[in-house]
Protein backbone atom coordinates (compact mmCIF):
# COMPACT_ATOMS: atom_id res chain seq x y z
CA UNK A 1 0.00 0.00 0.00
CA UNK A 2 1.08 3.56 -0.45
CA UNK A 3 -0.46 6.49 1.28
CA UNK A 4 -1.21 8.73 -1.69
CA UNK A 5 -4.76 9.94 -1.62
CA UNK A 6 -6.46 7.50 0.67
CA UNK A 7 -5.29 8.51 4.10
CA UNK A 8 -3.35 11.20 5.79
CA UNK A 9 -1.80 11.68 9.15
CA UNK A 10 0.07 14.35 11.06
CA UNK A 11 2.13 13.74 14.16
CA UNK A 12 2.36 16.15 17.11
CA UNK A 13 4.72 14.77 19.75
CA UNK A 14 3.00 11.62 21.01
CA UNK A 15 -0.29 12.13 19.20
CA UNK A 16 -1.17 11.47 15.59
CA UNK A 17 -4.19 12.95 13.84
CA UNK A 18 -5.50 10.58 11.19
CA UNK A 19 -7.86 10.90 8.24
CA UNK A 20 -9.00 7.89 6.21
CA UNK A 21 -10.89 8.50 3.00
CA UNK A 22 -13.99 7.12 1.34
CA UNK A 23 -13.65 3.57 0.02
CA UNK A 24 -10.76 2.61 2.30
CA UNK A 25 -10.77 -0.11 4.94
CA UNK A 26 -10.10 1.36 8.37
CA UNK A 27 -8.33 -1.54 10.14
CA UNK A 28 -5.82 -1.94 7.30
CA UNK A 29 -5.22 1.80 7.05
CA UNK A 30 -4.63 2.15 10.81
CA UNK A 31 -2.22 -0.78 10.76
CA UNK A 32 -0.30 0.81 7.88
CA UNK A 33 0.01 4.10 9.76
CA UNK A 34 1.26 2.31 12.90
CA UNK A 35 3.88 0.46 10.84
CA UNK A 36 5.03 3.61 9.06
CA UNK A 37 5.40 5.54 12.30
CA UNK A 38 6.79 2.53 14.18
CA UNK A 39 4.08 2.75 16.85
CA UNK A 40 4.33 -0.23 19.21
CA UNK A 41 1.98 0.82 21.97
CA UNK A 42 -0.89 3.25 22.24
CA UNK A 43 -4.58 3.84 21.86
CA UNK A 44 -6.87 5.08 19.14
CA UNK A 45 -10.22 6.84 19.18
CA UNK A 46 -12.11 7.76 16.05
CA UNK A 47 -15.40 8.72 14.47
CA UNK A 48 -16.74 8.74 10.94
CA UNK A 49 -19.05 6.86 8.62
CA UNK A 50 -18.91 3.39 7.12
CA UNK A 51 -21.17 1.31 4.88
CA UNK A 52 -19.67 -2.17 5.15
CA UNK A 53 -18.76 -3.17 8.69
CA UNK A 54 -17.85 -6.61 9.98
CA UNK A 55 -18.22 -7.00 13.72
CA UNK A 56 -17.43 -10.00 15.87
CA UNK A 57 -18.66 -11.29 19.17
CA UNK A 58 -16.67 -13.83 21.14
CA UNK A 59 -18.60 -16.96 21.99
CA UNK A 60 -16.99 -17.71 25.34
CA UNK A 61 -18.01 -21.39 25.20
CA UNK A 62 -16.59 -22.23 21.76
CA UNK A 63 -13.87 -19.53 22.11
CA UNK A 64 -14.66 -18.50 18.53
CA UNK A 65 -15.81 -15.20 17.12
CA UNK A 66 -19.19 -15.12 15.49
CA UNK A 67 -19.10 -12.43 12.81
CA UNK A 68 -21.78 -10.37 11.17
CA UNK A 69 -21.59 -7.88 8.31
CA UNK A 70 -23.68 -4.71 8.31
CA UNK A 71 -24.14 -2.73 5.12
CA UNK A 72 -25.75 0.61 4.38
CA UNK A 73 -25.16 3.99 6.00
CA UNK A 74 -23.79 3.82 9.53
CA UNK A 75 -22.12 6.36 11.78
CA UNK A 76 -19.05 5.19 13.68
CA UNK A 77 -19.86 6.41 17.15
CA UNK A 78 -17.09 5.70 18.13
CA UNK A 79 -14.28 3.33 17.31
CA UNK A 80 -11.92 2.76 20.21
CA UNK A 81 -8.99 0.42 20.66
CA UNK A 82 -5.49 -0.48 21.68
CA UNK A 83 -2.30 -0.75 19.70
CA UNK A 84 0.18 -3.40 20.83
CA UNK A 85 2.51 -5.97 19.30
CA UNK A 86 2.15 -9.68 18.78
CA UNK A 87 4.94 -11.83 17.32
CA UNK A 88 6.80 -8.62 16.46
CA UNK A 89 3.93 -7.25 14.35
CA UNK A 90 1.51 -4.38 15.00
CA UNK A 91 -1.61 -5.82 16.64
CA UNK A 92 -4.76 -3.74 16.80
CA UNK A 93 -7.60 -4.60 19.14
CA UNK A 94 -10.54 -2.44 18.09
CA UNK A 95 -14.14 -2.22 19.18
CA UNK A 96 -16.81 -0.14 17.50
CA UNK A 97 -20.29 1.20 18.01
CA UNK A 98 -22.16 1.95 14.81
CA UNK A 99 -25.52 3.70 14.46
CA UNK A 100 -27.94 2.88 11.68
CA UNK A 101 -30.53 4.98 9.83
CA UNK A 102 -32.89 4.63 12.80
CA UNK A 103 -30.14 5.94 15.11
CA UNK A 104 -29.98 2.56 16.74
CA UNK A 105 -26.58 1.51 18.01
CA UNK A 106 -24.94 -1.86 17.72
CA UNK A 107 -21.40 -2.88 18.10
CA UNK A 108 -18.68 -5.32 18.98
CA UNK A 109 -15.19 -6.39 18.09
CA UNK A 110 -14.21 -4.67 14.85
CA UNK A 111 -12.90 -6.87 12.05
CA UNK A 112 -13.20 -4.44 9.13
CA UNK A 113 -15.02 -1.28 8.12
CA UNK A 114 -15.11 0.45 4.75
CA UNK A 115 -15.35 4.24 4.91
CA UNK A 116 -18.45 5.65 3.20
CA UNK A 117 -17.68 9.33 3.74
CA UNK A 118 -14.73 9.84 6.05
CA UNK A 119 -13.02 8.62 9.19
CA UNK A 120 -11.00 10.77 11.55
CA UNK A 121 -9.14 9.64 14.58
CA UNK A 122 -6.45 10.42 17.09
CA UNK A 123 -3.72 7.97 18.05
CA UNK A 124 -2.12 8.41 21.44
CA UNK A 125 1.38 6.93 21.44
CA UNK A 126 2.94 5.41 24.55
CA UNK A 127 6.71 5.14 24.43
CA UNK A 128 7.33 1.48 25.12
CA UNK A 129 6.03 -1.81 23.98
CA UNK A 130 3.64 -4.51 25.11
CA UNK A 131 3.14 -7.78 23.35
CA UNK A 132 0.39 -10.41 23.51
CA UNK A 133 0.16 -14.08 24.20
CA UNK A 134 -2.63 -16.51 23.37
CA UNK A 135 -4.52 -17.71 26.41
CA UNK A 136 -6.17 -21.05 25.87
CA UNK A 137 -8.57 -20.69 28.78
CA UNK A 138 -10.35 -17.68 27.32
CA UNK A 139 -9.36 -18.13 23.68
CA UNK A 140 -7.93 -14.65 23.33
CA UNK A 141 -4.57 -12.96 22.80
CA UNK A 142 -4.05 -11.39 26.20
CA UNK A 143 -1.71 -8.54 27.07
CA UNK A 144 1.60 -9.85 28.37
CA UNK A 145 2.42 -7.57 31.30
At its nearest, how many Å lie between Fe ion and the CB of residue 109? 4
Q: Which of residues 41-70 bind Fe ion (CB under 5 A)?
A: none
User: Of 109, 120, 122, 143, which one interacts with Fe ion (CB under 5 A)?
Assistant: 109
Q: Please, which residue, 22 or 109, has the CB nearer to Fe ion?
A: 109
CA of 52: how far to CAs of 8, 12, 78, 121, 127, in Å? 21, 31, 15, 18, 33
Length of the chain: 145
Q: Tell the smallest beta-carbon distance from residue 95 to Fe ion (Å).
A: 6
Separation of CA 14 from chain center: 18
Cβ 6 to Fe ion shortest distance, Å: 26
Cis? peptide before 78, omega within 30° of 0 = yes
The CB density around residue 136, as the number of other CB atoms within 10 Å, is 7
11 binds Fe ion, rule: CB under 5 A: no
Residue ranges that bind Fe ion, judged by CB under 5 A: 109
Amino acid sequence: MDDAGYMNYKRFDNKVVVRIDKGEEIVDALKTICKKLDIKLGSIVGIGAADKVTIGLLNTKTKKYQSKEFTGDHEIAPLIGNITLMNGEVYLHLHVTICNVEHKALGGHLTSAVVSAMFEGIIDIIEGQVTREYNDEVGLNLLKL
